[in-house]
Structure 1
Amino acid sequence: MVATVKVFKKTSPNGKLTVYLGKRDFVDHQDSVDPIEGVVVVDGEYLKNRKVFGQVITSIRYGRERDEVMGLQFCKEMVLISEQIAPDSKTKSNLSPLQEKLLKKLGSDAHAFTFQLPTTAPTSVVLQENSNDQPMGIEYDLRAFVGENQDDRGHKRSSVSLAIRKVQYAPSLRSQKQPSTLVSKGFTFSSGKLNMEVTLDKELYYHNEPVGVNILVTNNSKKTVKNIQVSILQNVEITIVNSHFSKRVSHLESREGCPITPGSSLTKTFMVTPVATSVKEKQGIALDGYMRDEDVNLASSTLSERGSNDATGFIITYTVRVQLNLGAISGELVADVPMKLMHPMPGTSDKYGRGKGAPDNKVISRYDNNSYAKDEDENIIFEDFARLRMNEPE
């Protein structure tokens, strides 16, 4: 049985330029990023003495569009890659099997290209908003156009723009580390302390996987614990403006085992599961991919061995917070434990993820009028995206 290959295809409005890509998600492996490998087909008679250029552009929106007044802008657009694709400036080598198959199938008007994203480029992420504004976050576009030079962008009818994503997956081997913390609280007018130890089952969890929170409370004080709250917080740092905030993405409150009276203790495990569907109406939640995708997940934790000081974008972390409520006068005891939330590496068996653990390309549902046609000879599925980006003219 011959495996079927899925190819993403998009044609310019005038039908003279077509771009083919084998995938839209490109994985950051810390020391390298998957190459962007594709093929461009351009009408030779239309091209004449002009050239085809390819660019990879990242848009970083760190403020609401409605707040842009008096020339103030909260969006930065950077061209990460800009190269000539056709006519070929040199003989292409190290082509992928998909590129070789497409070049053979599409003929002399086809030209292969390979772009390499820098490892310092931020991971794709958007913030959930209940408005018609452009979503805050980081988006990538692969653009191809016909022009005299790299700055000639006046002919939108002969240009193509495809959304792509830069993503990170969990390491293939999960760490055996169990994050934990121990906190205590003393009281001014009474002796003894209230102690709490919080331990997680593991450090890294996959999306949709329940998080086991183990709690040990020892009450050596004269106060009484009335209830326990367990939350998972999503922490977002916007490095470009040096701001940060936290949003609660999962929460439970329990009175089981309470009240914890003076001299008593409690050992208990709580299970909480952070999922995007439970906070789909809450603004400011960071999501993986595009927020209009029905199957979108919470944003994955940002992994970076290069340190946050070198990152330009949105850094996502997660924290498990446990609160012991002692009443209005005595206050509360709070413990925070860090955790990671990610997709498993594609091909990894995981009962909590989709398929074999890898997110699919449903982020592309931001385009309309999708159609599929199967070529029986080459065993290739072409997915045709008939419209440009939603905020651009057709």
Structure 2
Amino acid sequence: MSDTAPYASRPDQSLGRLHGTGPSPTRSEFQRDRDRIIHSTAFRRLQHKTQVFLSHEGRHFRNRLTHTLEVSQIARSIARALRLNEDLAEAVALSHDLGHTPFGHAGERALHRAMEPFGGFDHNVQALRVVTLLENRYAEHDGLNLTWETLEGILKHNGPLIDAEGNPVGRYVREGLPAGLEAIPAPAPLRLETHASLEAQVAAIADDVAYNAHDIDDALRAGLVTVPDFLDVPMAGPIVSEVLAAYPDLAAKRQAHEVQRRMITRAVEDVITTSAANIARAGVASAEDVRLAGHTLVGFSEQTESAEKGLKQFLFSRVYRHEAVMVPVRESEAVVERLFARYMRDADMPGRWGEAGRAQDGAGRARIVADFIAGMTDPYALDEHERLFDARPDFR
């Protein structure tokens, strides 16, 4: 650990796991977390969960797994440059989407609406449920038995949930704190009022960098926009101008890739430069100092942050709300809503899920149903819909 900065997280100073394990002669505690996540069932399911474009539309669009791998690679690059613990950054990046539903954000919105009478649905809390309760592979305990630092990063990579007085912050002011937090087993309190480690903050910004680049690429592949459409778009425009000037006769797909890779490179370099300055200015000397700094230290420069907002506005209006995207979005939301209502009525879920659901009612059954639906892949959700309703949406 001598090559890491003093404010990096140290595996030998971890708050540990809920269930004790013997030391590993070859791996650090954060490396073990990473490996447990990669070998989990929930991680494999990500390959059949929608990112933006549903799987029927083509095999080359990102899914949750390919997105997660891209986030992980970017997180490692940033963590290395900032002399942080790469293994913890990777573990948080690999696990950050484990709580996502089938059909991307459409499925999450539908499940949240269905769960509103029971406290709502939050994918970060669901990811914690997956890694602490729902994975059932180990002989001696449920869950993956991850370290406190990885659990903290999963929950708080986007920032604290409450302030020092216990009041909700950010989107939780409007939505209230996520239901189910009290049921998450952890080796120590997750400290909802503090920021997470720098490694978790790196995973969060890596998610944004990956989104920006691959959503452009996927939108181009889908034919919703063309490369020149981005000429006047913040963040992407200057790069598109460069690429079109340098390679005017290059095939469009190669132009698109050149734009994508330059965007990732410049965003990563901006994050590294800005974050290094923020860390130095804050004067943090330990991981605990980072948690108590009072604000996020890893992020974009003001100029890039402003440009990124402009890019997201363009993608929202031209891609995410394009009718070719919205048709399957509306139908996939309906699939989740129908499944939820049916399972709540008669708990007609396979195997242990049905047994558990029939033993509960009200909020207890709702949480079991939410766990079951959130764990589904897109194809399995469609199979269940066909089994229960004798109908299979084609999303076209």
TM-score (norm 1): 0.21
Q: Which structure's residues are more often helix, by fraction?
A: 2
Greater Rg over alpha carbons, structure: 1
Q: Which structure's residues are more often strand, by fraction?
A: 1
